[in-house]
Amino acid sequence: AQSVAQPEDQVNVAEGNPLTVKCTYSVSGNPYLFWYVQYPNRGLQFLLKYITGDNLVKGSYGFEAEFNKSQTSFHLKKPSALVSDSALYFCAGRPRGGNTPLVFGKGTRLSVIA
Amino acid sequence: DTGVSQDPRHKITKRGQNVTFRCDPISEHNRLYWYRQTLGQGPEFLTYFQNEAQLEKSRLLSDRFSAERPKGSFSTLEIQRTEQGDSAMYLCASSLEGTGAGEQYFGPGTRLTVT
């Protein structure tokens, strides 16, 4: 079965410091991987995706993610955190071929402290 | 606004009542998905449509749940004889097949509370 794991329920970081939100996956073949962000009482917003090619993917709002096939990881990163980045972050993945449903991690709550 | 919309945003119902939710996808998107999200969990897949055809249903989708997309545009999700365990956020997403990874765009969700 396909699965995505986010090992940290909560990540706290000081404003201006770099942040990392971790994600590991168990998805067959070379997967498509995604990061979404959810603000209170709102739906999920697409941040970035990995399809193929460059292992460092750049997305919205200064976020980037690094795909590591050997470690089956897709960690989300940002060089300098903002208080406004505080939200719930979800990693998701699916196998290649067709628009099959996404499998989501449980989410990681990011708190950026001023 | 050209994003995914859902109606209603909130629904409070008594156990045993039927409820229906509506989702309007991004207009050019041919795939439409329904997910359920409970507190502290990521979204869980329920079902999806390719145009008007329902292609896959999760085993989470009991016989009390039914979804339709009659003209390949908007979709409805009906829950019959609601139970307290149905309380959750119901999310709709849409995507365009054949565009690379086909990222899904989500609506704001419908929060259901069954009392």
Tell which of B96, B104, B105 to mutate to test the A interface (max A CBs under 10 Å).
Answer: B104
CA–CA separation, A80 and A63 (whole Å): 9
Query: Which residue in A76, A105, A97 sits closest to A29, CA to CA?
Result: A97
pLDDT of amino acid A29: 81
Residue length of chain B: 115
Residue B93 β-bridge partners: B33, B106
Which of the residue ranges A45-54, A91-100, B79-88 would you say has the lowest mean pLDDT? A91-100
Give yes or no for residue A72 having a pLDDT over 70.
yes
CB contact under 8 A, A92 and B42: yes
Query: Which residue in A52, A45, A48 sits closest to A23, CA to CA?
Result: A48
CA–CA separation, A76 and A64 (whole Å): 6
The DSSP bridge pattern shows strands A19-21 and A73-78 to be antiparallel
Residue % of chain B over a pLDDT of 90: 73
pLDDT of amino acid A22: 98
CB contact under 8 A, A107 and B40: yes
- Mean pLDDT for B34-63 is 91
CA–CA separation, A95 and B102 (whole Å): 12
Q: What are B44's two structure tokens? A: 């869980």
CB contact under 8 A, A43 and B101: no
Residue of A nearest to B29 (CA): A99
CA–CA separation, B87 and B107 (whole Å): 18
CA–CA separation, A35 and A105 (whole Å): 10
- Mean pLDDT for B64-73 is 92
pLDDT digits (tens, 9 = 90+) for A25-60: 998 888 899 999 999 877 899 999 998 888 999 999
pLDDT of amino acid A98: 63
Give yes or no for residue B99 having a pLDDT over 70.
no
Q: What are B45's two structure tokens? A: 């897949």
Q: What are A43's two structure tokens? A: 């739906």
pLDDT digits (tens, 9 = 90+) for B1-25: 579 999 999 999 999 999 999 999 9
